[in-house]
Chains A and B, each alone.
Chain A
């Protein structure tokens, strides 16, 4: 029998390339910038220009856009956090605002703290109320600085970005180089943009006071990418040859990346009629032996579930990503949530083996497809990756060296050539490991039929016989046995921080960065804290987790959902009941300050703390951008923070 990659079970773990976990450092100065405008005002491109310009000067960034499901109009609020030490989240507080329209100026000026500043086109906008004390109004006389803006209003964005570079303490070289590459095909546009940027840069030098925090250029190189693009590229580098999807926010950018790169990378990329077709095609391709992947959001994933069970019983490797958005049903399509865990556990009827992985950061999105493919192929199972809108649509800078890797490929036991043996081939052979060598269709002398009905080792159905409890049980047991080694194959979670801390923050998936930062803030506030983040949700590393939490004084579970889906999972798997819960289901991601306040509430006796995003001065009943003029809030007006 021709076997590839047969390895002793014990050595399994080495096959996953432990990603060089990025160094977490939070000592360098940072600035958080908010760019706001209506859809169509160029918020995203202004933000992108800023991030790339700073990245080329060695400064890292994390970005997250809060937006509405409208194509034009509405309000879009992009938060960018910059520091020479890579930021792990959007942070707590905006230091500078670029307001591209009046609505943004009115909404967000009041969030600024003393020392903060707001940049806007003084010829078009003016504040509707007095700025909070110590906040600098930076009105740019855009028509004078950039006459071209009269024809092309978006030029105001370049002026503002130029001004901000000055105020951040950076030279303009990074911005110039980005403008050059962005408009490479139009030299005249490059020139007018560079002039506009320079005019803003010089005007800011002469007229505004820079904030106390200044950034310094470094030699570090940074790439900037969204979690979705990193999923796609990570999958391609892990050997994904077949990608199929149906558009659904917030997963669509994965399909678009694949479509754009299909020809160059020789990947078959198809958009098809619905998610039922998507997953069945993906499994069809996986069955033939290619690495095959698909992605969707919760609604699409719901349509996929019957076929996930098919992959379970016919033992076909396939990888499906569910980029979670706020549910149920259509829910809030442009908002983030971690509430599809129950759906992933329960996807499809019957008992079968699946792996569920929730990457911890955008950079981890790059690494996860290779782990998913390796475990899917080795164990011949479906693998579900749970991402969310925050991680998939947000973006961060990544050390390009972490992307320039060759992933190890573990195909498990695959048969592609005749073996010359007289023994009949059994596709579902009852082996000690439960893993049956998989002959790819097309291989001579290994004919078999894979059935979604229960079948015997040779693939022949046993579902239509009068009864056959012995063989039925044998086959279920064979498939279950595959999982005896899988927890060893997947790296166990590790505790960050002192083992004897007062508080253990326990999270899963995308909340990793915010929890790292919150733990640091709590330590600074004198609350000794450690942190455990779970990436492999099924199978759960029960032994390791129980050992860690057994030593924990107070475990607080943080999750971006209403009902505590992970808390219930932990309790079901380990019997551990957490001491407190911090939850959020208002559509916006956690910020470190929410966790800090929530932990204090738990320490004061609360069991479940529901967090509501509410900037200082925000009214909790504020209208959305599409429903008429922004009423505005007055600074000092009472705001409800934690319910």
Chain B
């Protein structure tokens, strides 16, 4: 990760294209936090790659001035993983929605954490499918009425934080787009974390989710940083991750005090120059050795 010591103006990450989200959409706060965090870390726009899937939230790379990819629904993490492995000198951030990451892309999410690729994953969790105009999501609460669950959601709700911890993720956090400063801090820590970092963000869909609204979250969320929570205590962190009632925690829930090395730091091919800068040619002697293996 190319982190310059000096913070830059957040405006360098702001493109001319304004976001086309609905006024009041939680994703604005998510995006603003990214401007702030990347600027505070002194990142160079050309050294950042933001990769998303498909969804309202996944439109984010188009509203962030860096290199970006708006890939396929559910495939942001594999794309980001390939990109990071190919060029380890870039800061790679994956973004998307709850449907994108916890629905269609769930397998990749679990495997990326198990693999521990050095990617920061920001999920704009609005507990609904926004872009497709309001269908049930894996994080929709049981009983929730949506266009596709008119009688109420019969299924259980996926808990991304607990799942992340069980999958070996070394940095598990939750933010709320209504708490931008707090969110920015989480991003900064997540990007600096060497390895996979999950930041699940409550990002209300003001158009299609009439249950999990700003006031709904404001009433419930509390910051773990303001309690005596020790994020390095796995069991305590799991208790927080499972908390979902009158009070819902946000903040850095879990950080592995002894994190596993990330896959990009272990792969033998990635020990020197970034793959993309390594030469193409194989020495004639090596080539002849390869041929000799067939003789």
Q: When chains A and B are docked, how far (Å) is the Cα of A145 from the Cα of B261?
A: 57
Binds B, one of A32-40, A223-231, A595-603: A223-231
| A289 near B70: Cβ-Cβ < 8 Å | no
Question: Is A282's beta carbon under 8 Å from chain B?
Answer: yes
13 CB < 8 A contacts A-B? A222-B295, A241-B86, A242-B82, A242-B275, A261-B290, A262-B268, A267-B269, A277-B81, A289-B86, A290-B275, A403-B294, A443-B46, A449-B70
Q: Which of A451-469 contact B (CB under 8 A)?
A: 451-453, 460-461, 464
| Among all A-B residue pairs, the 8 with the closest Cβ atoms | A284-B82, A281-B82, A239-B280, A449-B68, A280-B78, A223-B294, A288-B86, A441-B67
Q: Which of B64-118 contact A (CB under 8 A)?
A: 65-72, 75, 78-87, 89-90, 107-108, 111, 115
Beyond known contacts A404-B284, A452-B70: 10 more, CB 8 A cutoff: A223-B294, A224-B294, A265-B282, A277-B75, A277-B111, A284-B69, A403-B287, A441-B67, A444-B44, A452-B72
Question: Is A442's beta carbon under 8 Å from chain B?
Answer: yes
| A441 near B268: Cβ-Cβ < 8 Å | no
A52 and chain B: residue at smallest CB distance: B295
Binding site for A on B (CB under 8 A): 17, 20, 44-47, 49, 51, 54, 59, 61-62, 65-72, 75, 78-87, 89-90, 107-108, 111, 115, 263, 267-270, 272, 275-276, 278, 280-282, 284, 286-288, 290-291, 294-295
For B17, what are the chain A residues with a Cβ–Cβ distance below 8 Å?
A: 460
Cβ-defined partner of B280 (8 Å) among A225, A269, A409:
A409
Binds B, one of A91-99, A106-114, A195-203, A306-314: A306-314
Q: Known: A272-B78, A280-B78, A307-B75. Contact between A440 and B276, CB under 8 A? A: yes
A188-226 CB mask vs B (1 if < 8 Å, else 0) is: 000000000000000000000000000000000111110
| A284 near B81: Cβ-Cβ < 8 Å | yes
Q: When chains A and B are docked, how far (Å) is the Cα of A178 from the Cα of B108?
A: 46
For A289, what are the chain B residues with a Cβ–Cβ distance below 8 Å?
A: 86-87, 276
For B82, what are the chain A residues with a Cβ–Cβ distance below 8 Å?
A: 242, 244, 280-288, 292
Q: Which of A251-270 contact B (CB under 8 A)?
A: 261-270
Q: Which of A237, A268, A282, A460 has the most CB of B within 10 A?
A: A268
| A292 near B86: Cβ-Cβ < 8 Å | yes
Q: When chains A and B are docked, how far (Å) is the Cα of A443 from the Cα of B287?
A: 32
B50 and chain A: residue at smallest CB distance: A449
Q: Known: A263-B268, A277-B108. Contact between A221 and B295, CB under 8 A? A: yes
B273 and chain A: residue at smallest CB distance: A266
Question: Is A554's beta carbon under 8 Å from chain B?
Answer: no
| A447 near B65: Cβ-Cβ < 8 Å | yes
| A242 near B85: Cβ-Cβ < 8 Å | yes
Q: Known: A236-B282, A272-B78, A440-B276. Contact between A447 and B45, CB under 8 A? A: yes
For A409, what are the chain B residues with a Cβ–Cβ distance below 8 Å?
A: 280
Could you tell me the distance in whole angstroms from the C-beta of B283 to the nearest C-beta in chain A? 10
For B287, what are the chain A residues with a Cβ–Cβ distance below 8 Å?
A: 237, 403-404
| A288 near B281: Cβ-Cβ < 8 Å | no
A238 and chain B: residue at smallest CB distance: B280
Cβ-defined partner of B86 (8 Å) among A221, A225, A285, A444:
A285
Question: Is A354's beta carbon under 8 Å from chain B?
Answer: no
Could you tell me the distance in whole angstroms from the C-beta of A267 to the nearest C-beta in chain B? 6
Q: Which of B263, B286, B294 has the most CB of A within 10 A?
A: B294
Q: When chains A and B are docked, how far (Å) is the Cα of A223 from the Cα of B70?
A: 46
| A442 near B78: Cβ-Cβ < 8 Å | no
| B290 near A233: Cβ-Cβ < 8 Å | yes
For B59, what are the chain A residues with a Cβ–Cβ distance below 8 Å?
A: 461
Could you tell me the distance in whole angstroms from the C-beta of A181 to the nearest C-beta in chain B? 9
